[in-house]
Amino acid sequence: MERILVIGANGQIGNELVDALVAQHGADNVIAADIGPRSLFGARRYEPVDVLDSNAVAHCIENYGVTQVYQLAALLSVTGEQVPLKAWTLNMNGLLNILEIARERGQSGKPLRVFWPSSIAAFGPHTPAVDTPQLAVMDPTTIYGISKQAGERLCEYYFSKFGVDVRSIRYPGIISYKSPPGGGTTDYAIAIFHAAQRGETYPCYLGPETTLPMIYMPDAIRATIELMDAPAERVRIRSAYNVAGLSFNPRELAQKIKQYLPQFGISYEPDSRQTIADSWPHSLDDTYARADWGWHARIGLEQLVLDMLANIKAPRCELHQAA
């Protein structure tokens, strides 16, 4: 029986990951933790925990007999640029604390499986942008991306040096409707749906042709859990796996939304986030994830748009049947 701790549970991913883990393992076996007060999710157990307080995290893991930790607490790309030192401290020390606890527990016969998300932000302007391979030049330009690249190295180091069973995915931009995004460069792909449903023209902070890798939340959650459930010998990559969902740009997304909301309009007002987006890949090659643990994305643009529009309630707009 697994006992699972999700740190950063109040966030965009944590919220939905907790629900999925509760459905799989039962509410008693999933402990949601975050630095903030309890937010909305299906967990029965909640612990206020600061991931930077290593003793508090270790205490929580020991108390509940935790066997798996998902360490999601981080500052994202846009927020991180505003407070780089804080982002570095949280993103690096949060991960290091968990890896150290896992190392110590492993030595005393209480192994801890760890999930920690990397990001497409770990790539940079010299990375091949189309079908970015698993193994590529990585020269990230944001403090967030630098922390993700360093984090990947730490994960591989703790696996090869200490045998810590750590697993990771380079998440693309994650699109969802249940909780707000956490301050990333791909947030436009969520905000656009809210504007569309309010009947507003959306002022997009990225240019129309800015193609980025994205994934719909149900696919992202499934990838995460499938990787964590895979037999250890199948997990050959211990830095972080490329996982592809779909790729599109603001023009293509707006066009698809207009099929269902013909009155929807978009304007383009690129700001500093354009520079970040320009340094990231357009699409990912996820051959390793497919071969090692059977990953394949299920949700394409049509289904994503229909589901987002259906779930972000329209105050006055009716959905039109697309031709």
Ligand X SMILES: NC(=O)c1ccc[n+]([C@@H]2O[C@H](COP(=O)([O-])OP(=O)(O)OC[C@H]3O[C@@H](n4cnc5c(N)ncnc54)[C@H](O)[C@@H]3O)[C@@H](O)[C@H]2O)c1
Distance CA 2, CA 198 (A): 43
Q: State yes or no: residue 6 binds ligand X (CB under 6 A).
A: no
Residues 6+ apart with CB under 8 A from 24: 225
- Single out the residue of 21, 69, 90, 297 in contact with ligand X (rule: CB under 6 A): 90
Q: What are phi and psi of 241, to 5 degrees?
A: -85, 135
* CB hemisphere CA count around 229 (13 angstroms): 12
Residue with Cβ nearer ligand X (52 or 230): 52
Nearer to ligand X, 124 or 173 (CB): 173
Is there binding between residue 74 and ligand X (CB under 6 A)? yes
Residue among 66 and 90 whose Cβ is closer to ligand X: 90
The single residue among 10, 29, 97, 239 that binds ligand X, judged by CB under 6 A, is 10
Select the residue interacting with ligand X from 61, 138, 174, 261 (CB under 6 A). 174
| Residue 87 identity | A
Contact flag: residue 173 with ligand X (CB under 6 A) = yes
Catalytic residue of the set 64, 70, 144, 205: 144
Cα–Cα distance measured from residue 41 to residue 190, given in angstroms and rounded to the nearest whole number: 20
**CA 199 to CA 192: how far, in whole Å?**
11
* Helix or strand run (H / E) with residue 4: strand 4-7
Q: Which of 2, 19, 50, 226 binds ligand X (CB under 6 A)?
A: 50
Task: Answer yes or no: 144 catalytic.
Answer: yes
Measured at the CA of 215, the angle between CA 209 and CA 220, to 5 degrees, comes to 165
Shortest Cβ 67–ligand X spacing (Å): 20
Q: Other CB atoms closer than 10 Å to residue 109's CB: what's the count?
A: 6
Largest CA distance in the chain: 62
- Determine which residue in the list 124, 140, 145, 184 makes contact with ligand X, applying CB under 6 A: 184
3-state secondary structure of 171: strand
Smaller CB separation from ligand X, 119 or 261: 119
**Segment interacting with ligand X (CB under 6 A) among 44-52, 200-208, 240-248, 250-258:** 44-52
Catalytic sites, residue numbers: 144
Q: What residue ranges bind ligand X (CB under 6 A)?
A: 7-8, 10-14, 34-36, 49-52, 72-74, 76, 90, 117, 119, 171, 173-174, 181-182, 184, 186
